[in-house]
Structure 1
Amino acid sequence: PSTRLNIFHLVFLCFSLFSHGSCPVLECWFMKEKVSGGLSGGPNQDKSLLYVHKHADSHRAESHDAPLEVNPDRLYFVTDPAATLCHRSLNPRRGSSNKPMCEINPLHPQPSTLELAVPLTEPALSPIYLHADWLSTALQSFDKTMSISAITRAPTGTKEHDVILTLTTKTVLVQSRLGAPVLLDCSFWADPSSPLTGTGFAVEWRYQFRGDGRLVLAYDGKSDRLSHTGEEGATLDFEALHGRGNASLILQEAKVHHSGIYICSVYLPYLQAQVAMELQVVEPPSLSIHPSPLPLTAQGQTINIQCEASGFAPLSLDLHWEFKGADGNTKVLGSGSLSSHRQLWDGTYTQSSRLELDTADLGRAGEVACVGVHPGGTRRVSVEINLIGNSPSIEDSMAMVGVALVLYGLIKLVSWSFSGSEKRIKTTYVEGFKARRWTSFSLVIQI
């Protein structure tokens, strides 16, 4: 029993040490506020460190010494009860060259001018709570799969920060096939002890692509209503939104025009956090060759073949031709003559390639293939080609000899059958003649 108890204590100790050390020390860049007018002589960013813990009593500022390259004023001690900043993707293995990206900006809380969020700041709030040191921190995991936006607050003149609001996405880059449902992840956590969380929240989704933007969806959590829906088939899971802070955007059916950058924003009174993610709607092409099958062609002639790629998105497509001979060797024939892209009604594209195939050096037979290399995958379609007028192979010669022998045998069989029939006819004639002569001789004697 004592041995089991010692093992239990050892496991518990290891678990406690792991739990205590699970939150990382984040290396960040503190972005200095730009001074209006004049030229800035020094760098506009400083190295800084964030010491993150789940509980306020887990760290003491005086217990940490600043590294030589870090200004002691850029050491921050963050308490994160939700442990959002303690995610394992923010804590790479020791010695790894891949590190999370982290940027800190000073924040000045102020009422939002967005019509959706204006009602949140109607009640009078204590200015004592707002008069503090606020920071906005943007992070991306070392594997580029998660982004976090965190707003922290510290009493003026201190470095002991509390997380007030975090916004997280685990779908930094999403690829979807055309017509499939899409989920763009976005979840938030707000400190329930903060006076800013008692008057409600608001959620906004915006879309941007090549400088153009539009409002996709806006939700007023205070009055529980959708104030704007600018995209058909876009919705939220409202039960999960109020229950777990899940503000993920649901697109019922991915379309080509959905490709772009999506920004999820969450508003509290005087505060806003946002994360961005990219959606790529990728559909590989459908390939077809014309004519198919290819007509029988004499060796040395030129064949015109066309390959059409249709229904693909995005535009990037590499079309080329290949020839695979009877010996198994493959020869690249190039891209042929490419047409311009043409957009279809559903936003997908078509493109064709025309190939003038010289059959002089192709051998007696083979396979012509059209290959399309696309971000959605590689597609190929092939058609057989048979040429006439070339010298027969050994196999063909043996087959011709076999056919000749069979024909010779058939001729001999017919010849033997005809000869036998002729002999039977002659024998019957002679026997009949002899019979007639004997009958005549008998009649003469009787007379």
Structure 2
Amino acid sequence: PSTCFNIFHLVFLCFSLFSHGSCPVLECWFMKEKVGGGLSGGPNQDKSLLYVHKHADSHRAESHDAPLEVNPDRLYFVTDPAATLCHRSLNPRRGSSNKPMCEINPLHPQPSTLELAVPLTEPALSPIYLHADWLSTALQSFDKTMSISAITRAPTGTKEHDVILTLTTKTVLVQSRLGAPVLLDCSFWANPSSPLTGTGFAVEWRYQFRGDGRLVLAYDGKSDRLSHTGEEGATLDFEALHGRGNASLILQEAKVHHSGIYICSVYLPYLQAQVAMELQVVEPPSLSIHPSPLPLTAQGQTINIQCEASGFAPLSLDLHWEFKGADGKTKVLGSGSLSSHRQLWDGTYTQSSRLELDTADLGRAGEVACVGVHPGGTRRVSVEINLIGNSPSIEDSMAMVGVALVLYGLIKLVSWSFSGSGNNKTSDEKQLKRLNLT
């Protein structure tokens, strides 16, 4: 029994160590507020460490000594009951050069001026709770697949922070084919012990591309209504939103103009957190060659061939030509004469290439191919080319000799047949003449 107890105690101890060690120590840059503005001076930032635990009492059980390069004032002890900051993608293997990105900014809670979030701020809400030290932390996993925005609060003058709001996306970069449904992940967790979580929330999705932006969707969770839908086919799963904090944006059908940066923002009274993600709508080209099939051409002549690439997005496309001879060897013929891009009604593009093919050095018959290299994949289309007037190969020469011999034999046979029939006719005429004389 004592042996079993010792084994159980050892297993429990290992489990406890593992559970405590599952939350990482995050290395972050604390961005100090500049005084007076201006562009002078170097980076205004300090190294800092976040010691993350699921339970507040875990911080008291350990003593943390600041590394020499970290100011002790930049040590923060964060309690995260939802364990969002304990995700394995924020905790790389020991010795790994890939580390999560982390940036901390001071935060000053204030009422939102956004019409959607104004009703969340109730006049009766006590501002005493807001008089504390607030931080906004932005993180990205070491594999660049997840982004997190966290808002934490500590009593003034302390380093013991509680997570009040986290916002997470696991779709930092999304690629979609044209016409396919798209899910842009965004989920949030609000600390139920905070008085700011009892008056509702609001969700906003915005789109940005090359400096231009638009509001995609806005939802008032307090009154349960969509206050704005600026994109056809964009919606939320409202049951999942209220049940699990799933604020993911659903695009029913991906279109070219959907490519860009999407920002998911969640509002609580006096607080806002946001995460950004990129959507790339990628459609490879459809290729066609004209004329097809190619006309029979004499060796040494020039053939004009055109390749049409259509229905592709984004704009980047590498069109070039190749020739594959009868011996199996491939020769790159270049890109030919390229046309400018033309945009179609659905936002996709077309481009063509014209090739003047000199057949003098192509040898025997082969295959001409148009190749399109695109972010959505490589496409190719080919046509056979048959040339007349080529120098015969040894096999062809032997075959021609064989055919000549056969033809010569047939001619001799016919000649002998006609010679024999002619002699018989002369003999018959002489015999008839003798009979007439008699």
Q: Same fold (TM over 0.5)?
A: yes
Q: Are the counterparts in 2 of residues 31 and 105 from structure 1 also a CA contact under 8 Å?
A: yes
Q: Are the counterparts in 2 of residues 167 and 186 from structure 1 also a CA contact under 8 Å?
A: yes
Q: How many angstroms apart in 2 are the aligned matches of 1:52 and 1:93? A: 17
Classify 1:303/1:154 alpha carbon distance in 2 versus 1 (closer, same or farther; 3 Å).
Answer: same
Q: Are the counterparts in 2 of residues 61 and 77 from structure 1 also a CA contact under 8 Å?
A: no
Classify 1:329/1:109 alpha carbon distance in 2 versus 1 (closer, same or farther; 3 Å).
Answer: same
Classify 1:310/1:107 alpha carbon distance in 2 versus 1 (closer, same or farther; 3 Å).
Answer: same
Shift in Å, 1:13? 3.1
SS at match of 2:129: helix
Q: How many angstroms apart in 2 are the aligned matches of 1:211 and 1:378? A: 31
Classify 1:274/1:446 alpha carbon distance in 2 versus 1 (closer, same or farther; 3 Å).
Answer: closer
**TM value normalised by structure 2:** 0.92
The number of aligned residues is: 425
Q: How many angstroms apart in 2 are the aligned matches of 1:55 and 1:132? A: 20
Provide Cα deviations, 1:358-406, integer angstroms capped at 9, x if missing partner. Answer: 1111102111111110000011111111111121112222333444455
Provide Cα deviations, 1:159-211, integer angstroms capped at 9, x if missing partner. Answer: 00000000000000000000000000000000001000000000000000000
Provide Cα deviations, 1:25-69, integer angstroms capped at 9, x if missing partner. Answer: 000000011112577656410000000000000113971111100
Q: Which residues of 2 match residues 290-309 of structure 1 at below 5 A?
A: 290-309=290-309
Classify 1:408/1:95 alpha carbon distance in 2 versus 1 (closer, same or farther; 3 Å).
Answer: same
Shift in Å, 1:413? 7.4
SS at match of 2:119: helix
Name the counterpart of 1:34.
Answer: 34
Classify 1:385/1:40 alpha carbon distance in 2 versus 1 (closer, same or farther; 3 Å).
Answer: closer
Q: How many angstroms apart in 1 are the aligned matches of 2:21 and 2:236? A: 36
Provide Cα deviations, 1:230-265, integer angstroms capped at 9, x if missing partner. Answer: 000000000000000000000000000000000000
Name the counterpart of 1:141.
Answer: 141
Classify 1:42/1:363 alpha carbon distance in 2 versus 1 (closer, same or farther; 3 Å).
Answer: closer
Provide Cα deviations, 1:240-291, integer angstroms capped at 9, x if missing partner. Answer: 0000000000000000000000000000000000000000000000011111
Name the counterpart of 1:369.
Answer: 369
Provide Cα deviations, 1:276-322, integer angstroms capped at 9, x if missing partner. Answer: 00000000000111111111111111111111100000000000111
Classify 1:445/1:43 alpha carbon distance in 2 versus 1 (closer, same or farther; 3 Å).
Answer: closer
Classify 1:232/1:409 alpha carbon distance in 2 versus 1 (closer, same or farther; 3 Å).
Answer: farther
Q: Work out whether 1:357 is the aligned partner of 2:348.
A: no
Name the counterpart of 2:265.
Answer: 265
Q: Which residues of 2 match residues 113-128 of structure 1 at below 5 A?
A: 113-128=113-128
SS at match of 1:43: coil
Classify 1:29/1:395 alpha carbon distance in 2 versus 1 (closer, same or farther; 3 Å).
Answer: same
| More divergent stretch after superposition (386-395 vs 352-361) | 386-395
Classify 1:446/1:208 alpha carbon distance in 2 versus 1 (closer, same or farther; 3 Å).
Answer: closer
Classify 1:39/1:298 alpha carbon distance in 2 versus 1 (closer, same or farther; 3 Å).
Answer: closer
Q: How many angstroms apart in 1 are the aligned matches of 2:128 and 2:25? A: 30
Q: Are the counterparts in 2 of residues 325 and 362 from structure 1 also a CA contact under 8 Å?
A: yes
SS at match of 2:111: coil
Q: How many angstroms apart in 2 are the aligned matches of 1:286 and 1:41? A: 53
SS at match of 1:62: coil
Provide Cα deviations, 1:126-151, integer angstroms capped at 9, x if missing partner. Answer: 11110000000000000000000000
Q: Are the counterparts in 2 of residues 101 and 141 from structure 1 also a CA contact under 8 Å?
A: yes
SS at match of 1:405: helix
Classify 1:62/1:391 alpha carbon distance in 2 versus 1 (closer, same or farther; 3 Å).
Answer: closer
Q: Work out whether 1:110 is the aligned partner of 2:110.
A: yes
Q: How many angstroms apart in 1 are the aligned matches of 2:374 and 2:283? A: 9
SS at match of 2:386: strand
Q: How many angstroms apart in 2 are the aligned matches of 1:94 and 1:37? A: 39
Q: Work out whether 1:319 is the aligned partner of 2:319.
A: yes
Q: How many angstroms apart in 2 are the aligned matches of 1:38 and 1:367? A: 64
SS at match of 1:63: coil
Q: Which runs of 5+ in 2 are unaligned?
A: 422-434
Classify 1:106/1:21 alpha carbon distance in 2 versus 1 (closer, same or farther; 3 Å).
Answer: same
SS at match of 1:340: coil
Classify 1:390/1:3 alpha carbon distance in 2 versus 1 (closer, same or farther; 3 Å).
Answer: farther
| More divergent stretch after superposition (119-128 vs 73-82) | 119-128
Shift in Å, 1:414? 6.7
Q: Are the counterparts in 2 of residues 220 and 227 from structure 1 also a CA contact under 8 Å?
A: yes
**TM value normalised by structure 1:** 0.90
SS at match of 2:93: coil
Classify 1:37/1:238 alpha carbon distance in 2 versus 1 (closer, same or farther; 3 Å).
Answer: closer
Name the counterpart of 1:11.
Answer: 11
Classify 1:398/1:2 alpha carbon distance in 2 versus 1 (closer, same or farther; 3 Å).
Answer: farther
Report the aligned-residue RMSD: 2.7
Q: How many angstroms apart in 1 are the aligned matches of 2:369 and 2:348? A: 23
Calculate percent identity across the aligned residue pairs: 98
Q: How many angstroms apart in 1 are the aligned matches of 2:38 and 2:256? A: 47
Q: How many angstroms apart in 2 are the aligned matches of 1:17 and 1:375? A: 46
| More divergent stretch after superposition (128-137 vs 9-18) | 9-18
SS at match of 1:52: strand
Provide Cα deviations, 1:325-381, integer angstroms capped at 9, x if missing partner. Answer: 111111111111000000000000000001111111110211111111000001111
Q: Are the counterparts in 2 of residues 240 and 246 from structure 1 also a CA contact under 8 Å?
A: yes
Q: Which residues of 2 match residues 194-273 of structure 1 at below 5 A?
A: 194-273=194-273
SS at match of 1:327: coil
Q: Are the counterparts in 2 of residues 369 and 381 from structure 1 also a CA contact under 8 Å?
A: yes
Shift in Å, 1:10? 3.9
Q: Which runs of 5+ in 1 are unaligned?
A: 422-443
Name the counterpart of 1:445.
Answer: 436
Shift in Å, 1:122? 2.5
Classify 1:170/1:403 alpha carbon distance in 2 versus 1 (closer, same or farther; 3 Å).
Answer: same
| More divergent stretch after superposition (166-175 vs 399-408) | 399-408
Classify 1:209/1:123 alpha carbon distance in 2 versus 1 (closer, same or farther; 3 Å).
Answer: same
| More divergent stretch after superposition (46-55 vs 33-42) | 33-42
Q: How many angstroms apart in 1 are the aligned matches of 2:297 and 2:41? A: 77
Q: Are the counterparts in 2 of residues 52 and 80 from structure 1 also a CA contact under 8 Å?
A: yes
Classify 1:215/1:69 alpha carbon distance in 2 versus 1 (closer, same or farther; 3 Å).
Answer: same
Which protein is bigger by CA-based radius of gyration? 1
| More divergent stretch after superposition (223-232 vs 121-130) | 121-130
